[in-house]
Amino acid sequence: MTETVTVRTEGTTLSALLARYYRKVFSGMVAKTFALNQDLARCGPYLPVGRIVTVMTPAEMAAEGAAPRPVIDLFE
């Protein structure tokens, strides 16, 4: 099962987008997202604003056996 996420801020990397979406860091989450979005690498290191990215649901990511780790935010 998948969902879509829209890039809303300039200078967003895929890792940052996924960390914000999941509120956790799953091992392999970037690779799995690239597999769902075959053309995503053409965007370069920063995703353009308005880009729609297909992601796995948090439940699906956990079901794949990816162990979540909490996101550490230094500015909260």
Residue 30, class by beta-carbon neighbours within 10 Å (0-12 exposed, 13-18 middle, 19+ buried)? middle
Q: What is the pLDDT of residue 15?
A: 92
* Domain spans of the chain, in order of start: 2-70
**What is the reported pTM?**
0.80
CB 57 within 8 A of CB 3: yes
The mean per-residue pLDDT over the stretch 55-71 comes to 75
Q: Would you place residue 52 in the very low, low, confident or very high pLDDT band (cuts 50, 70, 90)?
A: very high
Residue with tokens 């990215």, as numbered in its chain: 53
Higher pLDDT, 64 or 74: 64
